[in-house]
Amino acid sequence: MAGLLLLGFALLLFVAVATHSTQDFPYRDFGAAPDNAAGRFGEYMSALLGPLFMGQWPAVVFPFIIGLWGWTLVRRHSRRSAVIVSVWTLALGLWSSTSIGVIGDLVHRDNISSYYAQSGEFGFWSAHQLILLAGRFGAVLAMLVLMLVGLTMTMAGFAEWIERRAAQTAQIAGKAKSLPLPSVVPAWRFLKNWMASKKEPEETIPTVDIDRVRETPSQHETAEPLPRVAAADGHAGKVLHNLGEEIDPLTGARRATVRASEQMTMSVDDHSGYVFPAADCFNLPPADRIGGMSRDEQQHNAELLEKSLDTFGVKAQVTQVNPGPVITQFELAPAPGVKVARIESLADDLALALRARGLRILAPIPGKAAVGVEMANPKPALVTFREVVESQQFQTAKSKLTIALGRTVNGEILTADLGSLPHLLIAGTTGSGKSVCVNAIITSILLRATPEEVQFVMIDPKKLELAAYNELRNHHLTHRPDLSEHVITKPDEAVKVLRSCLVEMERRYDMLAERGARQLSEYNVMVKEDPREGDRPLPYIVVLIDELADLMVTAQREVEEPIARLAQLARAVGIHMVVATQRPSVDVITGVIKANFPARIAFRVAMKVDSRTILDTNGAEMLLGQGDMLFQHPEEPAPQRVQGALLTSSEIARVITHIRKQPPPRAKLVLPLDQQEEREGAVVDGQLEGRDPLFLEAAKIVVRTGQGSVSILQRRLKVGYSRAARLIDQLERAGVVGPFDGSKARAVLADEQTLMDLEQQ
């Protein structure tokens, strides 16, 4: 309403100034009808602003300024911009009034009345004083210099606006300032990308973001770039003092590009002919993606946050705003004497006052004398896997185990080296983004390492999440010769594989000790520099367990022991673990496992106790889901909030298809067998050799209960899962039970007579 009133008043004032007559007040005879189109109001206002102040036409700046503020209130635009434009407009009016006075003195020196009405009282007085001070030539020169200074500053601001608008248009078109001048090569590349987008509708034109690099804003055409707001010293009590620095609402960083896709397609070894997957395997970031929090929303929320805290008796000032793709962080500087714990206790009240979809308080922000209030953006922005792997951080990383995670609160690309973590524990509820993160970790390594450099051991009890990687059995998947699966899905086979990893770890320690190397990288360098017969560089091994809870339920002791030993000892010999679970309870993430996994990722969990189980602190229960995570790096004092990169099934399929076309490794890693386990399960001529002492008792239990399952043997015989599974295998070979039939119990094929025959053997 106030904005509309100001617009109406501005229009009326403009009519009054434009229709000012020299016959009106103060020259009109008292009682005569006014000639002004706005009546007596217009007559008085035009005289007050015109002849009595700065002249008729310079006075037009006043209705313009009033109209600008009316439009700002109606459209809810930035008030800072309105203040800047108003100041410049008023300065233009004063300069015009003075210039008319100077020109009038030069042209009509003896006839003041001829230009007095146009320059106004201010213009006449300021021109007279300037001429007395510097002379007529000096006055003209001063006005010209002021005009040039004003034009220079105006054109600089206008050029910056044009550049920013051109960058927005370029991003929508797909180039985003990647090329300074047009040429044939970028035109062909644009046409190629456009054709690819026609084949796959979900893909669009690529943008590439690197560390500390800001993209151009990708909001609506009318949206303004979001500010990084810093408090000015000595200006307490004001909110968002410095709104001048513009940053991306999605990334919070200045923008630059790098043609990383070309680097990713280069052959890693001229002899082997192996070619890494190209960036074309991944979907392009949407050119029209919108998200973040607008400048006005930041200003409004910052003011509302301070007022809400003041309502509860907490004095604090917003000193900085960090906009990210999904959340925006407000940095609060508490007044002296305010306890941080008091602000933390107001989290729910602040969420109510701000109408926030999700609000989390980080108190304090590590390395800063501030408290972070993280609020969900009204429109979250998509973070694609492609923009992360094309970033400067990922492209220049030296480690073969570099993983692409996503973007931080500030919009910066975040990557990590799995080799330095050295093991990673991931937890989150269903749909929070856990499986996407696991796939992103695998794909990140596949983009940088050949099969001779990195091998995977994949355990997927759910049988769905990692099934697609079975196609890599000839390249990146290591295996045990006696197992039928390359991606392990059966708990008993998972135990066998983990034991084989322990044997491989011990074998590698012996090899490193023989060479005098302290870690795998040193050993591989020694092998290349001083090759011996039978020696070859050893690949890194990444052990992935997609659902730990299923294994812990069926065989906790058999699984927990090898995981703990690998986590404690395997780093030096190049074996690293990534363990994920959707149930972060203490019976799944036990103290033994947790103590050996310093690096952790927590997605959204149901309760605070789950957050404390995975991170040793609260916060994960306040996450938004869909890739919103807290990443605890071993070298950082507190978890870092990250928006995970989206990686779709179709993108994974394209990477796998590309790798399948590459030549297989010259020497494939095969996990060694557990010799004791082999002796227990050996079969010669169809007869059992090394029969378990509990075999006959197990046969009696199965026949008399009619249930051929591992769980019943565990309960009745009080043995672990691994031994019970071996007993079932022996019973199957002896014809007591039938073959494995999915989730159903095995069919019992024997009777009492069969038991008597077995006892006589």
Chain segment 309-321, per-residue pLDDT in tens:
999 889 999 999 9
Whether 558 and 612 share a structural domain: yes
Q: State the pLDDT confidence band at 148, using cuts at 50, 70 and 90.
A: confident
| Closest by Cα among 301, 336, 330 to 318 | 330
Whether 206 and 166 share a structural domain: no
Q: Which two tokens stand for residue 426?
A: 């991931």
Instruction: Please report, for residues 169, 289, 521, the alpha-carbon distance to residue 163 in angstroms, rounded to integers and kept in the order given.
Output: 10, 20, 48
Domain ranges, residue 505: 420-636+655-660
Check if the beta carbon of residue 656 is closer than 8 Å to that of residue 468: yes
What are the residues whose beta carbons fall under 8 Å from the beta carbon of 421, sequence distance 6 or more?
A: 576, 598, 599, 633, 634
Write the burial class of residue 35 (CB in 10 Å: 0-12 exposed, 13-18 middle, 19+ buried): middle
Q: What is the pLDDT of residue 167?
A: 59
Q: Looking at mean pLDDT, say which of 24-28, 376-380, 571-575, 689-693 comes out highest.
A: 571-575
Q: Is residue 470 part of a domain?
A: yes
Q: Is residue 529 part of a domain?
A: yes
Q: Which two tokens stand for residue 146?
A: 């002021």
Q: Is residue 192 part of a domain?
A: no
Whether 149 and 16 share a structural domain: yes
Q: Is residue 397 part of a domain?
A: no
Whether 115 and 162 share a structural domain: yes
**SS3 state at 191:** helix
User: Which DSSP symbol is given to 24?
Assistant: S
Q: What is the pLDDT of residue 271?
A: 40
CATH number for the domain that contains residue 234: 3.30.980.40
Whether 144 and 33 share a structural domain: yes
AA identity, residue 654: R
Instruction: Please report, for residues 102, 120, 142, 362, 536, the alpha-carbon distance to residue 136 in angstroms, rounded to integers and kept in the order given.
Output: 8, 19, 10, 64, 90
Whether 431 and 369 share a structural domain: no
> Which tens digit of pLDDT belongs to each residue from 655-675?
999 999 998 888 788 888 765
Whether 180 has a pLDDT exceeding 50, the answer reads no
Q: Is residue 672 part of a domain?
A: no
Q: Which of 317, 350, 376 is the last residue of a domain?
A: 376
Q: Which residue has the tokens 């079932």?
A: 728
**How many domains are contained in the chain?**
4
CATH number for the domain that contains residue 447: 3.40.50.300
Whether 606 and 528 share a structural domain: yes
Report the distance separating Cα 734 and Cα 699, nearest Å: 10
CATH number for the domain that contains residue 719: 1.10.10.10
* Threshold 0.95, pTM exceeds: no
- List of long-range contacts for 288-291, beta carbons under 8 Å, 24+ apart: 288/172, 288/204, 288/218, 289/218, 289/250, 289/381, 289/382, 290/218, 290/219, 290/220, 290/223, 290/379, 290/381, 291/218, 291/219, 291/249, 291/250, 291/325, 291/326, 291/377, 291/379, 291/380, 291/381, 291/382
Whether 444 and 508 share a structural domain: yes
Whether 116 has a pLDDT exceeding 80, the answer reads no
How many residues does this entry show for the chain? 761
AA identity, residue 587: D
Instruction: Extract the runs of DSSP E, i.e. beta strands, from 157-285.
Output: 226-227, 246-247
Q: What is the pLDDT of residue 56?
A: 67
Whether 567 and 620 share a structural domain: yes
Whether 169 and 204 share a structural domain: no
Report the distance separating Cα 409 and Cα 396, nearest Å: 22
Whether 255 and 306 share a structural domain: yes
Q: Is residue 674 part of a domain?
A: no
Q: Which two tokens stand for residue 390?
A: 């094309």
Does 364 sit behind a cis peptide bond, omega within 30 degrees of 0 on the bond before it? yes
Whether 79 and 12 share a structural domain: yes
Check if the beta carbon of residue 469 is closer than 8 Å to that of residue 446: no
Per DSSP, the residues of 266-288 read SBS-TTT--BPPPGGGSPPPPTT
Label the pairing between strands 371-376 and 327-334: antiparallel
What are the residues whose beta carbons fall under 8 Å from the beta carbon of 53, sequence distance 6 or more?
A: 59, 120, 121, 122
Q: Is residue 413 part of a domain?
A: no
**SS3 state at 730:** helix
Strand-by-strand arrangement of the 371-376 sheet: 316-323, 327-334, 371-376, 359-362
Nearest-Å Rg of the Cα atoms of the chain is 37
Q: Is residue 300 part of a domain?
A: yes
Better pLDDT: 175 or 120: 120
